[in-house]
Amino acid sequence: MSFKIASSPHQHNQRSTAQIMRLVVLACLPGIAVQAVLFGYGVLIQLLLAIITAWLSEALILVLRKKAIMPRLKDNSALLTAVLLAVAIPPYAPWWIIVIGTAFAIIMVKQLYGGLGHNLFNPAMAAYVLLLVSFPLQMTQWLPPMSLQSVDLTPLDAVCSIFTQFSCSGFSLTQLQTSVDGITMATPLDTLRTDLSRGLTLSESMQRPVFFSFAGTDWLWVNLAYLAGGILLIQQKIISWRIPVSILAALFLLSGIASLASPDTVAGPLFHLFSGGTMLAAFFIATDPVSASTTNRGRLIFGAAIGVIVFLIRNFGGYPDAYAFAVLLANMAVPLIDYYTRPRTYGHRTRSELK
């Protein structure tokens, strides 16, 4: 009988790593489906490009490292990284954006550190930050929801737009960003931040068509879909409730207090919870078993730190949605968090108890 030693992620159930990763991908499907329906076919094309790039990048590095290819491809970790990055970028970003980002996530962030279980940072979020810092224009060219688009895009238009930056009818991405009322659109978070910087009040900004009730138009449904998938993961005990709940609680509490103190300049908690990538980040990204905290108390601190950083960057920083930066900063603090939140060893007695 041999005793096998394996690196994290470790789960207290009978599922293999491949099964866990596959279940997380399946839980993403409701959010991906809603995102594709509301924001166009570009979501699916980016997803396909990301998956192909992830598999090819993983296989290439494994060949260079003289490791078996198929067992590591079948663990579905590269697949999950590709999915999370693909749904985080603008659906009609140039094709090379997702290729560069996915290759960087797999080669530099994952394999450079030794593969699954050894990476210090969340690969998808590290790649997202690289893309956002290197190509800010392409990473902020979000088209309005399909209900507000002035041009109906077919699947072929989506392919043309991603590979040539022009639809088959000759419309540029800048033209496609113009809504039915002739206004150039951006994401709700970006629109609100820009309006406030120009001196508009919150109520004045919320009159724009990109907003719907207390959240962004159609972003509410995307976040609800990812929330449903996240609840399924908790119910199946794939992830711990502590990280997503502490993220949402910290963000809700801070935005609630700030909006009461300054209602004209700070959006309410429901806006922050159901706009941008809040639910995707809380349930699918921050809960990465490798780069997140591993102790129960540590997970609460880890999640709360992400919620606090997101609130601060959204309201005082230069980026409208801050989850990538918040997750990476929290990843850096994981060794310290885990060190000071280690559970007490069974049978261990403190010095005060020995006296």
Q: What is the pLDDT of residues 319-336, one digit of tens each?
A: 878 899 999 999 999 999
Helices (H), 15-141: 17-39, 42-64, 70-73, 77-86, 95-104, 123-134
Lowest-pLDDT range, 106-120, 174-188, 203-217, 255-269?
A: 174-188
- CA–CA distance, 31 with 37 (Å, rounded to integer): 10
Q: Please answer whether residues 145 and 39 qualify as being in contact, where contact means their C-beta atoms are separated by less than 8 angstroms.
A: yes
Going 152 to 158 to 164 to 168, the CA torsion angle's sign is negative
Contact by Cβ (8 Å): 187, 213: no
Tokens of 34: 């809603």
| pLDDT score recorded for residue 94 | 95
Residue 158, helix vs strand vs coil: helix
The confidence score (pLDDT) of residue 255 equals 95
Whether the Cβ atoms of residue 282 and residue 244 lie closer than 8 Å to each other = yes
Per-residue confidence (pLDDT) for residue 110, from 0 to 100: 93
- Predicted local confidence at residue 351, as pLDDT: 56
User: Is 171's pLDDT higher than 90?
Assistant: no
CA distances from 10 to 17, 154, 294, 339 (A): 8, 44, 10, 18
Highest mean pLDDT among 168-177, 213-222, 256-265, 303-312: 303-312
Check pLDDT > 70 for residue 167: yes
Confidence of residue 140 (pLDDT cuts 50, 70, 90): confident
Could you tell me if 293 and 240 are in contact, meaning their C-beta atoms sit under 8 angstroms apart?
Answer: no
More confident residue, 15 or 159: 159
Please provide the average confidence, as pLDDT, over all residues in the chain. 87
- Tens of pLDDT, residue by residue over 222-255, are 999 999 999 999 999 999 999 999 999 999 999 9
Q: What is the pLDDT of residue 347?
A: 57
Mean pLDDT of 297-322: 92
Cα separation, 268 vs 257, in Å, equals 9
* Residues 6+ positions from 200 with CB-CB distance below 8 Å: none
Q: What is the pLDDT of residue 345?
A: 63
- What's the pLDDT band for 312 if we cut at 50, 70, 90? very high
Distance between CA 149 and CA 185 in Å, rounded? 9
Gap between the Cα atoms of 284 and 27, Å rounded: 9
Residue pair 317/276 in contact (Cβ under 8 Å)? The answer is: no
Q: Which residues of 5-26 are buried (b: 16+ CB within 10 A; e: fewer)?
A: eeeebeeeeeeebeebbbbbbe
Q: What is the mean pLDDT of residues 50-60?
A: 96
| Count of CA atoms in the C-beta half-sphere (13 A) of 103 | 11
- Which DSSP symbol is given to 149? B
Range from 126-135, 162-171, 254-263, 322-331 carrying the lowest mean pLDDT: 162-171
- 């866990």: which residue's tokens? 20
Q: Which has more confidence, 12 or 22?
A: 22
**Per-residue model confidence (pLDDT) at position 182:** 46
Q: Give me the sign of the Cα torsion angle 31, 35, 38, 40.
A: negative
Residue in 280, 260, 265, 263 with CA at minimum distance from that of residue 314: 265
Of 350, 216, 200, give the one whose Cα is nearest residue 272.
216
